[in-house]
Every structure is written in C-alpha cells, then in structure tokens.
Structure 1
Amino acid sequence: MGQFGVMIGQLVGFFIMLLVGYGCVRLRFYGKVALDGMCSLLLNVLIPVLVFSNAVDGTDRSHLEANWGVMLLTAVMYGLLIVTFWAFAHLLRLKGSRSHVFQASLIFGNAGFIGIPLIMALFPKEGAIYVALMSIIDQALLWTYGVWLCEPVQSQGGSDSQAKTDGITGGLHALGVRVLNLLRRFVNPAFIGVMIALALILLGAKVPQMILKPLHTIGNMATPMSLIYLGGLFALTKWWNVLRRYELYVGLVAKMVVFPLALYALLTQVVSISPVPLPITHDMILVITVIAGLPTMTTIAMFTGRKDNMPEYAVGFVLVSTLFSLCSLALVSAIVF
C-alpha cells in the first residue's frame, strides 16, 4: 500500500497540472505562440539543466563504480524495448511515421517527469544515484534514436532513383548526408549536458552547491511546465482520434503491464542462476521494473509537435498512457514489491 499511495499521489499531482494547462488555453490566457515558446524553453534549457543537475549532484566515481549495474540494466531494458516494439509495429502492419511514432511512444517512458519523483520517493536512500546513472543512457538514446523516430518518414524512392542515376558519386553523397544527420542528433543541449556531467564525474570535479542550488531550482521547473504545456497541447490538438487506433490498446497493455513483469521475472532469474556475481541488486531490478512500465514521455509529443509529424497521435498516447498508468503501475507494484 505504501508504493500504491506514492504512485497515486504523484499521478494526481500530474493530472492537476495537466488540467491547469488545459484550462489556461481554453480560457485564452495564451495560445499556440506561447506553447511554442514553452516547448523551446523546455527542450533547450529546462530539461538539459534538470538532467545535468541530477547527474552531478552527490555522484562521484565511487558511486559510478558501485552502482554501474543500473546503467547496465537501463541499456538492457532499452535494447529489449527497441526490439519488442519494432517487432510489434511490423506485426501490426504499421507503416511510415505512424510506425515510428508508435515505437517512440512505447520505447521512451516518462522517466524525467514521472520516473524521477517516483524513484526518489520509493528509494529515498539510493534513488538519486540510480536516477543520475539511468539518465546517462536514457537521455543519450532519447535525443538520438528518439529524435530520429519522431522525424517525418520520407519516401526513399527519389533517393534510390538518384543513386542509380549518379552511380557511385550519388551513393557516397547519400551516405555522407546520413552520417552527417546522425552526428547532428548528438549536438543537442540535453545530450551535451549528459556528456559534461559524465566527464565531471569521471574527473572527480565537484560542482559547488551555490551553483547546483539555482540549477536544481531551474531544472525543477521542467516537470510542472512540461505538464502545463502538454495540457495546453491537449486543448489545441484532436488527440482523441488515437482512441480509434487498435495499436493503442495492444501497445499499452504490452508496454505497461506485460513487459515490466516479464522483465522483472527475467532479470530475477538471470541474477539467481548466474555462476558469477553480477553488479545488480534487487532494488536495482525493482527500479528498472518501475521505469519500464512508465507512460509515454511527454518529450515525444514535443518532438512530433516541433516537426508537425502526427502530433495528435503522440499527444493521445501521452494522455491515455498517463491515465492508464494509474492502474498499471498499481498492478505492477502490487506484484513485484
């Protein structure tokens, strides 16, 4: 009941923030121009600062060495999520941007805005270290593979025809463009913040508290502003059309109930039968189980909205998954805790 109460309290708070954002737009306190500004502020300032300040606060090389199993589990979780929902997208015969946004919505859970306060509340002693180490893998994948999934899918017919026409030169040019586009995805504020934080931890450099304190204050604005932004987005987009999509129901049950329970059983079994000691504790497995069952990351809606790539579809996944998590997280926690 303790974990259930924590989850209900967090989700009720998030729901209130969504209502505030929805109400502000409906009452015409602000509109799309203001929401676009909030989106830019979140993506370029608040989220990167949140990630950086949480990663470097109280974390040093000894913590990294003692708890690097969390990073291993996070990488394993994302690897399984990517393979699982790539396969689901193909089995459900989803194509183009619909397939990619479907995958992004189910691979990336709301670790930043729901996961961090939830883990800190459930594991007050080691929660900060777990969050810092998980964020390195989480943000690196979100701002590279996640950004790519949220970009509009373009037809490859023209590129193939041009390559055939131009021969080797055209093929090399196309390869160069793809490599350059891939590298550009790494040049974003959040990923840079993660890399700077990791470098400071490895070098043993400490960020003074007089600097960390205002950074934490700024970063803590990310959660309420993101949910207020999302609430406003609900008021401006026809998100309810996603309720007609059959993949929504299959995907949410698979991602938020079946997958975390299967992952918990798999990891527990592997640790118990491993012939050599693994740097993985039971608390780490519980943490990654909760993270695996989180609702869709709000940043996915921001990414798709920025590119005008099925934003209603992504917003619908965020809203419905967040509401569904009230039941799914309670069910998962009742089984594993």
Structure 2
Amino acid sequence: MGQFAIMVGQLVGFFIMLMVGYGCVRLRFYGQTALDGMCSLLLNVLIPLLVFSNAMAGADRAQVEANWGAMLLTAVMYALLIFVFRLVAWALRLKGSRSHVFQAALIFGNAGFIGIPIIMALWPHEGAIYVALMSIVDQTLLWTYGVWLCEPVPEPGTVASPDAAGRPTLGLRVRNLLGRFVNPAFIGVMLALVLIMLGVRIPSIVLTPLRTIGGMATPMSLIYLGGLFALTKWWGVLKRYELYVGLVAKMIAFPLGLYALLTAAAGALPELPITHDMIMMITLVAGLPTMTTIAMFTARRNNMPDYAVGFVLVSTLFSLLSLTIVSAVVF
C-alpha cells in the first residue's frame, strides 16, 4: 500500500500541473507563441539534459552490466507494443497518417515526464539505474521510429512520379535515415552510454546543475500540455472510435498482460537477469499515457496535430484511472 499511495500522490501532482498550464492560457498570461517556445526548449534542451543527466547520475559500467535486464525488458516491451498496435491499427482499418500517428500515440508512453518521477519515487535506490538503462532503449526508438511514424504519409495519387527525376536517390534516402539520429535527445543518450562504458564520471559540481535543469522538463511539459488543452481543437478525437479501443488496450489490458507474461517467464526461467522490481517497473512504463513529444513531432510537420494532441490529453487524463487500476493489481 505504501507504493500505491506514492503512485496516487504522483498522479495528483501531475493533474495539478496540467491545470496550472490550462489556467495560465485561459487567463491569458501567455498564448501560442509562448507554447511554441516551450516546445522548442523541451525538445532541444530540457529533454536531452534530463536523459543525459539521469543516465550519468544513475549508472556506471558495473551497474549497467549487473542490471542489463532492465534494458532487456524495455526492448521486449517495445517489440510487443510495436507488434500489437500495428495489428490493432490494421484490424481497425486505419490508413496512412492516421494509422501511423495512432501507432505512435500508443507505442510511446510518457516515460520521460511521467515515468521517471514515478520510478524514482517508488524505487529511490534502484530507480536511477532503471531510468538510465530504460532511457537508452526508449529514447533511441522514440527519436528514430517514433519520428518516422509522425512524418506525413502521402495520400494515394500524390506520391512522387516513378521516373528517375522524381524518385529519391539511394544516397538521399540514406541521408534522410541517418538524419533521424541527429537530434539532441539521441545524441545525449549515446554520449551518456559512451561515457558510462568508458568509465568517465562527470564531477557533481557540473552534473548537479544539469540535473536541475533537466528536472524542469516534467513540470514544463505538463504545463505545456495544459496550455495545448486550452488552445487546441482536440475534442474531434473524441469522435474517433480507435481512441477508446486504443486506450483500454494500451493502458489497462497491455500492461496487465505484460505483467502476467513476464512474471510467468521469470518463474519458468529463473536464470533470466530480471527481478520482480524490474517487472513492476516495466509494467508501469507500459501503461503510461501518450508521450507529449508525439504531439510536438506532429505539430512540427503539421501532420494531424489535433489528433495527436487529443490522444495526449485524453490519455493523460485517463491515466489517473488506468494507472490506479494497474497499480492496485501490481502492488
């Protein structure tokens, strides 16, 4: 019950931050221009520093080698999420950008802004290493596969001409692929991993302010999200049948099914490098609401941004109920 109470306390705090952002925009303290600035600051500074500083503060080479099961579980979770929600999108007959944004919204949970505070609160000692190892897989996929899912999908009849002049060259396709890896968050993850494996330690006099700045990402992202709630015509997503199927599947059925599967696997194969705490951690991560960054990615490319924002907002509000249900079962 102690961990369950901590979980509920975190969710209440998140709701308050959302309402602060909503109230500030409604009271016209700031508007869309300020939100655009927040988005840029989050994507280019706060998120990369959050990931980098948590990894550097929470892990060394020995800890990585001793707890690599957390990375394994994160990879397994994402493999299952990608498979399940590609299948769900196909079953619901979603096409084009709608299918891709739907998948992105349900594959990538808000591990950075909501997951990290919850993990650190529930596991004060092991939480840092869990966050560091999880972030390596999470951020790598988010800023590569996630970015690709949020790019516009050409409608039938609007694709480039099949002639040589209209077809992208192999070099251009390779450059575009590599370009997805050149972003601040991915660079932060890779830099942290290299430094950890080389045994390089950043002095606390430098790391502490970096962690403080990165720690601003969670409240600012929720305040940003609350502002979007006030300004965006997000309610159109409420008419989309896939919203309700997706939220129940992603935020209740999938994490509980994953918990049962991993618990059975750990019991049948005790030699696996996973612990029950790792299983509970990844279960909560699997049930997190849509990552705020998905809305930022789609807004940047003007690719169904209202649809993505609607998923972020509704899933975040729904998480107050769904995470309570999942926590009650797991804890």
Place the TM-score, normalised by the shorter chain, in its bin.
over 0.9
Give the conservation status (yes or no) of the 8 Å contact 1:7–1:326. no
SS in 2 for 1:206: coil
* 3-state SS of paired residue (1:186): coil
Counterpart CA distance in 2 for 1:211 and 1:20 is 31
Which is worse superposed, 2-11 or 231-240? 2-11
| 1:159 to partner: Cα distance | 4.7
Alignment of 1:128-143 (within 5 A): 128-143=128-143
Deviation at 1:57, TM superposition (A): 0.5
How big is each residue's C-alpha offset from its partner over 1:177-219, in whole Å with a ceiling of 9 and x where there is no partner? 3222111000000000000000000000000000011101110
Q: Does 1:329 align with 2:323?
A: yes
TM-score (norm 1): 0.94
Q: Which amino acid aligns with 2:4?
A: F
- Structure 2 partner of 1:191: 186
Structure 2: where are the runs of 5+ without partners? none
Moved more, 306-315 or 50-59: 306-315
Count residues in correspondence. 331
Q: Structure 1: which amino acid aligns with 2:321?
A: C
2:209 to 208, 214, 219: 214
Would you identify which runs of 4 or more consecutive aligned residues in structure 1 move more than 4 Å?
Answer: 156-160
Match of 1:295 among 282, 289, 310: 289
Equivalences for 1:37-116 in 2 at 5 Å?
Answer: 37-116=37-116
Amino acid at match of 2:189: V
Closer, same or farther: CA 335–58 of 1 in aligned 2, 3 Å: closer
Question: Corresponding residue for 1:149?
Answer: 149
Deviates more, 1:175-184 or 1:66-75: 175-184
The answer to whether the 8 Å contact 2:225/2:292 transfers is yes
1:156, distance to aligned residue in structure 2 (A): 6.4
Q: Percent identity?
A: 75
CA RMSD of aligned residues (A): 1.5
* Partner SS, residue 180 of structure 2: helix
> Which 5+ residue runs of structure 1 have no aligned equivalent?
none
Rounded to whole Å, the distance in 1 between the matches of 2:213 and 2:96 is 37
State the alpha-carbon separation in 2 of the partners of residues 319 and 108 from structure 1.
14
2:103, 2:90 → 1: CA distance? 10
Alpha-carbon contact 2:7-2:122 (below 8 Å) kept: no
Q: CA deviation at 1:60?
A: 0.8
Q: TM-score, normalised by structure 2?
A: 0.96
> 1:5-60: CA deviations, max 9, x gaps?
22221111111111111122122221111111110010000000000000011411
Residue 97 of structure 1 and its aligned partner are, at CA, apart by 1.1
CA contact (8 A) 2:106 2:250 kept: yes
